[in-house]
Amino acid sequence: MTAPYRRPGDVPDFLELLRLDGRPMVVLGGGAGIGRQTVHALVQAGADVVCIDRESHLAKAVAQEAGCHALTADATSRDDLSQALDEAARLTGPLTGLVDIIGAAAIGPLSAVDDAGWQRQVDINLRHAFLATQLAAPSIAAAGGGSIAFVGSISGLRAVPDESLYGMLKAALHHLIATMGSELALARVRVNGVAPGWTKTPRLAGMLGPDKWRTIGAQIPRGSAAEPWEIAAPLLFLMSQMSSYVTGHVLVADGGLINSVPHPDVFARAAEPPAPPIGAPA
């Protein structure tokens, strides 16, 4: 969907460009963490949102607290996802946007991955993105255009220990974003992504204790891992007309980690409490 035509030199209402009033949008994997925060972000901007998760109780809980719709589907299944997107359109009208949060890393060396593990990782990190793009893009184009956004990872941009398979699949996702951004541009469908670094999602928060998070924060120039809302915020930007001239791009949101080289002195910071991020909600 394009911004209203303005004469050269006119100044737009920039905050209005961030609004999504009445625009039907879907969040895949919206039941927790970054997905939950993204549902709230889109709803607050005025979108008519459908939260889709394979865990029905999570989707319903987020929909209830955000004031939107909930559906249950396995996004790695073509039939499941197709039915869910059709039902979402019946609930809200023709879709103008889709955010896909889904992904999970299997940690360990590539030599330890068997065929079943390979397929699980392909499904959870790449197949759903292929299906979401293929199934949703024609509908979004028919509605006049809109935006698709994925969550990638800095593991798809750098070699991360014990994340060879995950990083390879995220790199493939990033390339999917680049190619589909070009392929769908004339159909007025923008395709972008956000590549987070360390983020305190519920899954990682359950795996790592305070000492681990302090060590992680000591290696990040910002001084701490991201909170899920700090990844949802750039996703909101990519779904809005604030990013109307951005497509095929992966925005890195990692607190500066990817541009830094660890130094022994930074580990001394692990004993210090991290400073709160600028602009963090009270």
Q: Which residues are catalytic?
A: 166
Q: Whole-angstrom Cα distance, residue 174 to residue 197?
A: 15
Question: Which amino acid, 170?
Answer: K
For 64-105, the three-class secondary structure string (H helix, E strand, C coil) is HHHCCEEEECCCCCHHHHHHHHHHHHHHHCCCCEEEECCCCC
Query: Which residue in the block uniquely carries the two structure tokens 């910002």?
Result: 222
Instruction: Report phi then psi at 193, rounded to 5.
Output: -155, 165
Are the CB atoms for 56 and 72 separated by under 8 Å?
A: yes
Q: Could you give the maximum distance between any two Cα atoms of the chain, in Å? A: 59
Let me know: does 135 contact 88? Beta carbons within 8 Å: no
